[in-house]
């Protein structure tokens, strides 16, 4: 009805003032920054004001840490934060190797057993392997959170972020989402120009001071995650049902823990080596274990992934997961984090003075 519309409304919607349009533009800009891995515009302006000393700072330091930091020299700037929520993709287990078929002409080809036989063969095989899709999801969430934490520290003008705390969340796999929340306190050394990317460390101020007196300095934060699936073969499961009164080791779980620990250790070592560090201190390992049922990848590649797909001509088609092989077992998620350190460059106590000798021939 025309008499219900405003005079300047031509599309049936009320006119919006300039403030509302400006707010929408800021929200769109902040969303674009977050999608690009950055931080919102309002957070950037607030951190820049903190770095310039224009407002009151907040920190996660205790009273003792704050007093020690003031005596050492660096100044706390702000409490920085980075977070990320990632939706996990499809997690699949590796398939058995396909059978080899030999022809009379000498050529070879791959032959996949019928689905019932393949399912039976897979159930007779023990499985201990890393689920790369889940490990990569944790790595992506951690990388996004660390980048946003570093971006906030960069905007505030910090040299180092101390007391970094990593908080992880793993929700029901039906929701298939994981989250990473990382916080710390950004500090700046006296006379610093802050020209490089700020270093991250999970050390406390007391540990940082002890490390400094020992002649070392933090080289950066190292963190890694490994998700390993473990499932015993059918004969072992049947034997355990018959001997359930006895104490017996779950060999596949012990092997999975060893694989997860070695995988995390190797990734931490590679990260520390990339930072030219001498070692890593304060490494903490944490893990979760729960039952899970995962599907098995077919040994012969499928045409299209499970669900709706689009063909070359743009025609949609559906691939059903019905009849896929599934395996029940244990899912072990192991996290590791620490601070890589390197020996600090020593400045001579009495540096040689520059001299110039002038003579006349």
- Which domain, by its residues, includes 224? 61-302+323-343
User: Is residue 148 domain-resident?
Assistant: yes
Give the count of alpha carbons within 13 A of 238, CB side only.
5
User: Is residue 47 domain-resident?
Assistant: no
User: Is residue 88 domain-resident?
Assistant: yes
- Model-level pTM greater than 0.85? no
User: Is residue 13 domain-resident?
Assistant: no
Give 123-161 pLDDT, tens digit per residue: 778 889 999 999 999 999 999 999 999 988 888 888 889
Residue 110 has pLDDT above 50, yes or no: no
Element holding 220 (H helix, E strand): strand 216-231
Residues 159 and 72: their CA atoms lie apart, in Å, by 15
Of 106-115, 313-322, 331-340, the poorest mean pLDDT is in 106-115
Residues 233 and 100: their CA atoms lie apart, in Å, by 24
Provide the domain count of the chain.
1
Please report the pLDDT score of residue 101 as a whole number. 46
User: Is residue 35 domain-resident?
Assistant: no
Please report the pLDDT score of residue 172 as a whole number. 58
């Amino acid at each position: 009805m025309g008499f219900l519309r405003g005079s300047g409304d031509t599309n049936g919607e009320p006119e919006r003032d300039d403030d509302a349009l400006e707010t929408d533009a800021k929200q769109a800009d902040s969303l674009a920054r977050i999608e690009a891995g950055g931080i919102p515009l309002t957070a950037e302006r607030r951190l820049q004001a903190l770095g310039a000393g224009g407002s009151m700072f907040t920190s996660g330091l205790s009273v003792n840490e704050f007093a020690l930091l003031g005596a050492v020299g660096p100044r706390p700037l702000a409490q920085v934060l980075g977070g990320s929520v990632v939706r996990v993709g499809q997690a699949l287990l590796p398939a058995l190797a396909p059978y080899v078929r030999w022809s009379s002409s000498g050529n070879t080809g791959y032959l996949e057993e019928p689905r019932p036989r393949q399912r039976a063969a897979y159930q007779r095989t023990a499985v201990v392997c890393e689920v790369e899709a889940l490990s990569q999801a944790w790595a992506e969430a951690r990388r996004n959170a660390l980048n946003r934490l570093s971006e906030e520290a960069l905007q505030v003008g910090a040299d180092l972020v101390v007391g970094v705390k990593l908080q992880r969340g793993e929700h029901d796999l039906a929701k298939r989402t994981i989250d990473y929340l990382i916080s710390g306190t950004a500090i700046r050394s006296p006379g610093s120009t802050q020209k490089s990317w700020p270093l991250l460390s999970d050390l406390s101020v007391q540990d940082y001071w002890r490390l400094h007196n020992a002649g070392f300095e933090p080289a950066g934060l190292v963190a890694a995650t490994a998700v390993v699936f473990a499932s015993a073969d059918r004969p072992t499961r049947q034997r355990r049902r018959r001997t359930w009164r006895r104490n017996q080791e779950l060999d596949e779980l012990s092997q999975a823990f060893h694989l997860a620990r070695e995988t995390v250790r190797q990734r931490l070592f590679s990260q520390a080596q990339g930072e030219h560090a001498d070692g890593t201190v304060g490494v903490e390992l944490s893990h979760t274990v729960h039952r899970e049922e995962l599907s098995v990848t077919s040994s012969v590649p499928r045409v299209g992934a499970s669900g709706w797909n689009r063909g070359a001509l743009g025609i949609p088609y559906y691939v059903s997961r019905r009849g896929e092989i599934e395996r029940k077992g244990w899912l072990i998620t192991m996290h590791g984090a620490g601070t890589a350190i390197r020996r600090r460059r020593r400045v001579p106590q009495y540096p040689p003075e520059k001299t110039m000798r002038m003579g006349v021939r």
